[in-house]
Structure 1
């Protein structure tokens, strides 16, 4: 039986009870008279959630070995040089320097020799003798990788490319 103040197409009023549909008819399940969402809809919802969770776990599990394979072995560095503030496209140059055997860089052999002299510590490289202008045209050098089984992370901003070349030699000579 419908509520006396509603019809099948009536809009709900404040007199409608929770658990009733628009027409005033309650959907009850079993005994107790409480409203429920329906067994099939709930089962489908739970099954979909389980499938999505499983798919997410499989995706994460499959990508971890792939990421491990992407990293080179031996002594290697991902090198970037960014001119200016890096806001314009084309301001960044990049290379993957590998040192066993030397490759991936225009001056790979010289860069690997220079890094070997400092045991892979770019910050410990001694500057070469020479003169650089006092023009301020900032250049940021960044390196991330592995040397001798240890992780390497280096970032430094130089006043200009001449000072970058004086301090790091062929390591960040990526423009050639």
Structure 2
């Protein structure tokens, strides 16, 4: 009789421990988010290095009117010309060093009522600036200007 009681107690304890483990290990289903801004907006982040251990900076770009970004006027104008598609921002002709120092650009938001989601890893910040214009130029420094066209060779 004692054996049966002990086996039941052990099984009950194991069942309770398993239920507790499953309940604690389950991911939270609700994500807390604040209200989304009205108009065109993008939450922009740039992660330098490995996305797991790199440093991340970010900002909220608002375009109605342009604000919240070091170069909001220029970034909003480029996005407007590209229809809100970051991949369609015109490529800037520039010479970038062949140094691998990866940066990951991420944008989430809405443009003209449509959701925007963009993530891309570039070999370095120069290539990111050439491909995305002022959109991810989060620092106060002026965004990289297009390189001047090469001068024509002198006539001989």
Q: Is TM (by shorter chain) over 0.5?
A: yes
1:165 Cα deviation (Å)? Answer: 0.6
CA deviation vs aligned residue, 1:87-118 (integer Å, no higher than 9, x gap): 446x1010000000101100001000000010
Normalising by structure 1, report the TM-score.
0.60
RMSD between superposed Cα atoms in Å: 2.4
1:130 aligned partner: 94
- Larger Rg computed on CA atoms: 1
Higher RCO (CA < 8 A, seq sep 6+): 2
Unaligned runs of 5+ in 1: 1-11, 17-62
Q: Alignment length, in residue pairs?
A: 117
Unaligned runs of 5+ in 2: 6-29, 141-156
Cα distance in 1 for residues equivalent to 2:52 and 2:4: 62
Is 1:165–2:129 an aligned residue pair? yes
CA deviation vs aligned residue, 1:18-43 (integer Å, no higher than 9, x gap): xxxxxxxxxxxxxxxxxxxxxxxxxx
Normalising by structure 2, report the TM-score.
0.68
CA contact (8 A) 2:40 2:112 kept: yes
Equivalent positions of 1:1-176 (< 5 A) are 13=2, 67=33, 70-88=35-53, 91-176=55-140
Cα distance in 2 for residues equivalent to 1:152 and 1:106: 20
